[in-house]
Structure 1
Amino acid sequence: MRSLMRVSGSDLRLLQVFDAVVRHGGFAAAAVDLNVSQSTISNHMTALEERLGFVLCQRGRGGFHMTEKGRAVWEAGRQLEKALQDFSTDVASVRGELRGELRIGILDAVVSDPANRLADVIAAYGRIAPHVRLVIAQERPQDLQQKVLDGLYHCAIGSYRNRIDGIVYDRLHDERHSLYCGRLHEAFDADDAELTDARLAAMPFVHRGYWRDEDTLRQLDWRIEATVFQIEPQLILIQSGRYIGLLPNHYAAEGVAAGTLRAIRPEEIGYTCEFELFSPRNRRPSDVAAAFIETVRTVWPSAQDA
C-alpha cells in the first residue's frame, strides 16, 4: 500500500510540465513553451507517472488524451499552484508589502460598456499596489462564482441570475440587452409594428448556451437554431443576416451607428443584467485581494451606494 505523497520541489516542477502539456494539448507544443526538448518533456511525464503510480495521459498516433486520474491530478495541481502563490502573497503582507498575484475573473464583451469601471479600478489599484501582478481571465457567467468559491480567483466581476452560498455580492451597474438583426436580415427594413411576436418566433434565433434560466430571458418562444457561449460569435451570426439574437446595447452600438445592426422593438423585448463584484464570504481575503475589493467599492459609483 502506497503512503501519502509528500510534495517536493522536484514534484512541483513535474506538475508544471504536466500543466504545460495539458494547456498545449501535447508534448511538442509544451516543449516549445518551456524551451526544452520533446524528449525532456516525455522523461518528465514518465517520472511523474512513476511517482504517482498511474497513467496520466495517453499519447500516440491518436493524439494526446488525459485519463480520468490525469484530469484529477491536473486540477489538484492547479489548486496547489494557486495555494503556493497565495502563500507568497500572505508572507509579503506580513512584511507590510502588497506583493504577489491577484487573480480576477471577468465576462466577455464588457470593454465597450461606459458603465464598466474596471479600467479605472485597475489604475487606482496600481497606485497603491504597484508590485502586484494581475491575472485577468475571461469566463462564462456561471463559472465565475464557482471559481471564486474554489479560490481559483480572488474575486470576479460579472452577472448571473442564480446566486450561491459563500459569495458576497456588491452591485456595480446594470447592462441592458435588446433584440437585434443584421443588415441582410428580412427584419432589418421592416417597421416594428410589422414584427409581431408570431413573426419573430418563426425566425432563426441564436441562443447563448450558458443561460439555463431561459424562461426569465425569453419573452417569445424563440426558434433556437444556433448556440454560442461567447458574445462575439453571437454577433457574427447575427451579422450574417440569418439569425436574430439578444446583445448588450453598448456592444451593438457601433454596428447600429454603422448601419449594420438594427434593434427590434427595444422598448418591449430585452432584459437587464445586474453586474456585481463576487468575492468569497467564508475565506479571509489576502491583503492584496482585500485592497482590490476595497478599490472596487470606492471607484465604482454603484458599489458605494449598495
Structure 2
Amino acid sequence: MSLPVISNVDLKLLSVFRTVARSGGFSLAQAALNVSQATISIHIKNLETRLGLTLCQRGRSGFALTEDGQRVYDASNALFNHIEDFRSLVLGYERLVGELQIAVIDNSVYHPTFQLGRVIRAFGLLDHNVDITVHVAPPNQLEQMVLGSQAHIGIGFFPRRLSQLEYDPAFTADMEVYCGSQHPLFDVPEDKLSPQLISQYRHAQRGYVSYDQLPENEKHFNFTARAQAIEGLAHLILSGQYLAFLPVHYARNWVSQGQMRSLLPLEYAYSSQYEIIRRKSAGRTPAEKKFFELLTTEG
C-alpha cells in the first residue's frame, strides 16, 4: 500500500468511513452523515481505491469490517484524536474543546463509591464544547486503547506495569470466590467447606491475569475455563459449572437474589487496586487535564 501525503479529501473519506463503522452499516450512517446510501458507497469505494484495500463487506449477512478495515478504523480513530488534541493544545489554549475518549473496565458501574457518571456530570456542568465517548473493555484492551491513542484515559485493573503508561489510583475493590446456585458447593454449610474441597472443582480464570500474577491461594485451582471480561466470568459462575473470583460490588446483586454465593471469604478475600492510566508521551489537552482532575476528586 502506498499512500501519499494525507489530503483534506483523504480526511473527509476517513471521516465518512469512521461514521459508517461506528454506525454499523451504510443505511444506519445516513442520518449521521445526512447523505444518501449511494453517496456513502461512492465515498467508501474511493477510500478503498485510495488505500488499495477492501475495508468492509456488506450483503445479506449484514455489514462487517474486514481485517484491513478494522486496522484502518483503529488508525483513523487515533489520527482524528491527534488532530483534535492538536487543535485543543495549539488553538484552544485553556478552553475545553475537542474530543475526550474515556475507556473503563466493564464492572465499575456497580462500585458503591467510584461513580464515573458523577464525574461526567461534574464535567458537563462546566463551560465546554467537548465530544465525549465512553468505551467499555477488559484491562488488556484498555491498555492498548490508551497506547494506541484511541483513548485519552483508561480506568481499570492493571496487574502488569508498562513503561509507556502513567498509573494513578482510582478505587479499590474487594474480591471473593463465588459459585452459582446450581453448583454442588452452593448448599454446603460453611463449616464443611475447606480450601481442599474447593480446589477439587473446576475454576474459571480471569484471562487478563497471568498465572504469575495470581494470588498464591488461587494458583492451585483447576482452571478449565477463562474469560477476558468480568461479565464473562459471571456467566460461567451462573452456569453452575465453575467457580471464579469476582469483585464483591459486582456480585452483590446475584448474591441478594440467591443466585451466587461467596465461598470461604476469610480464606480467599483480598483487595484489588483499580487505577487510571494515561500515555506518558501524550500532550495533555485542557479537557483531559480537567477530566483527570475531576476523576481524582469527584470519582
Which bin holds the TM-score, normalised by the shorter protein? 0.7 to 0.9
**1:1-306 aligned within 5 A:** 5-23=4-22, 27=26, 34=33, 36-57=35-56, 69-91=68-90, 93-94=92-93, 96-213=94-211, 216-217=214-215, 219-220=217-218, 221-300=220-299
Aligned equivalents of 2:216, 2:137: Cα separation in 1: 23
Distance 1:47 1:207, change over 3 A: same
Distance 1:269 1:278, change over 3 A: same
* Structure 1: gaps (5+ residues): 301-306
Q: Which amino acid aligns with 2:251?
A: A
Aligned equivalents of 1:38, 1:124: Cα separation in 2: 39
Deviates more, 1:131-140 or 1:261-270: 131-140
| Contact residue 92 and residue 100 of structure 1 kept, 8 A | no
| Contact residue 100 and residue 131 of structure 1 kept, 8 A | yes
1:241-260: per-residue Cα shift (whole Å, max 9, x none)?
22221111111122222322
Q: Secondary structure at the match of 1:279?
A: strand
Q: Which amino acid aligns with 1:160?
A: F
Aligned-residue offset at 1:70: 4.4
| Contact residue 55 and residue 69 of structure 2 kept, 8 A | yes
Deviates more, 1:286-295 or 1:51-60: 51-60
Aligned equivalents of 2:176, 2:202: Cα separation in 1: 16
With the length of structure 2 as denominator, give the TM-score of the two structures: 0.84
Distance 1:51 1:132, change over 3 A: closer
Aligned equivalents of 2:259, 2:77: Cα separation in 1: 43
With the length of structure 1 as denominator, give the TM-score of the two structures: 0.83
Aligned equivalents of 2:146, 2:117: Cα separation in 1: 20
1:93-149: per-residue Cα shift (whole Å, max 9, x none)?
32x422222111111111221131433333333333443332111121122233223
Distance 1:133 1:50, change over 3 A: closer
* Structure 2: gaps (5+ residues): none
Deviates more, 1:173-182 or 1:203-212: 203-212
Aligned equivalents of 1:298, 1:139: Cα separation in 2: 24
Q: Which amino acid aligns with 2:278?
A: S
Aligned-residue offset at 1:165: 1.0
Deviates more, 1:226-235 or 1:273-282: 226-235
Distance 1:281 1:204, change over 3 A: same
Q: Secondary structure at the match of 2:145?
A: helix
| Contact residue 194 and residue 264 of structure 2 kept, 8 A | no
Aligned equivalents of 1:261, 1:12: Cα separation in 2: 51
Distance 1:124 1:137, change over 3 A: same
| Contact residue 238 and residue 244 of structure 1 kept, 8 A | yes
Deviates more, 1:281-290 or 1:49-58: 49-58
Aligned-residue offset at 1:170: 1.5
Aligned equivalents of 1:287, 1:77: Cα separation in 2: 22
Aligned-residue offset at 1:261: 1.8
Deviates more, 1:14-23 or 1:164-173: 14-23
Distance 1:129 1:135, change over 3 A: farther
Q: Secondary structure at the match of 2:283?
A: coil
Aligned equivalents of 1:5, 1:181: Cα separation in 2: 57
Aligned equivalents of 2:44, 2:131: Cα separation in 1: 29
Q: Secondary structure at the match of 2:108?
A: coil
Distance 1:65 1:157, change over 3 A: closer
Aligned equivalents of 1:138, 1:284: Cα separation in 2: 23
Aligned equivalents of 1:204, 1:139: Cα separation in 2: 26
| Contact residue 217 and residue 270 of structure 1 kept, 8 A | no
1:183-212: per-residue Cα shift (whole Å, max 9, x none)?
222111212342333322222222222222
Q: Which amino acid aligns with 1:161?
A: P
